Amino acid sequence: MPFYETVLIARQELGASQVDELTAKCRSIIESGDGKILKTENWGLRTLAYKIRKNRKGHYVLIEADAPAPAILEMERNLRLNEDVLRYMTIRLEEPSQGPSPIIDKSGRDDDNESGKPEKFEKSDKEAA
C-alpha cells in the first residue's frame, strides 16, 4: 500500500481534547479502511501565515499512514465536511519518514546558527568599493 502524509489545521478555539478527538476520528477512518497509522504528531497551536476564515492561529496535526487510496479519500471527505478544520493537505510519499518531523525535532536543523536569528553579513572591502 502507498504511504500518505496529511497535515491538517484545526480552529484555534478548539481545546486539546477536541483536537485529539478529531485526530482519533481520522485514525479510525483510516484503520477501518484497512490502513495502518505510522505516525501521529500534534504540533500544537501555531500562528498562521495569513488569516483563514478569520483565524490567526490554528492547531496543526500530522498523520502519516500506510493506507489504500479509498481510505484516504474518505478521511479527506470527512475533513472537508468538518467545520472545525480550516485546511488540510495530503501528499503521497515514496517511503515513510524516519524519526520525528523537523517541526518537532528542533535539534535537527540544517543551519549552524543555533540562536534561530538570521546571521548578519558584513560587506568586505572589495564589495564596499
pLDDT at site 112: 44
Residue 119 clears pLDDT 60, i.e. is over it: no
The Cα–Cα gap between 64 and 77 comes to 17
Instruction: With respect to residue 84, please indicate whether it lies within any of the assigned structural domains.
Output: yes
Instruction: With respect to residue 115, please indicate whether it lies within any of the assigned structural domains.
Output: no
Instruction: With respect to residue 123, please indicate whether it lies within any of the assigned structural domains.
Output: no
pLDDT at site 76: 95
Instruction: With respect to residue 65, please indicate whether it lies within any of the assigned structural domains.
Output: yes
What is the residue range of 18's domain? Answer: 3-94
* Residue 74's CATH number: 3.30.70.60
28-62 residue pLDDT tens: 999 999 999 999 999 999 999 999 999 999 999 99
pLDDT at site 126: 56
Selection from 98, 37, 84, 102 nearest residue 63 by Cα: 37
84-108 residue pLDDT tens: 999 999 999 998 888 888 887 764 4
Instruction: With respect to residue 51, please indicate whether it lies within any of the assigned structural domains.
Output: yes
In the chain, the number of structural domains is: 1
Instruction: With respect to residue 13, please indicate whether it lies within any of the assigned structural domains.
Output: yes
pTM for this entry: 0.76
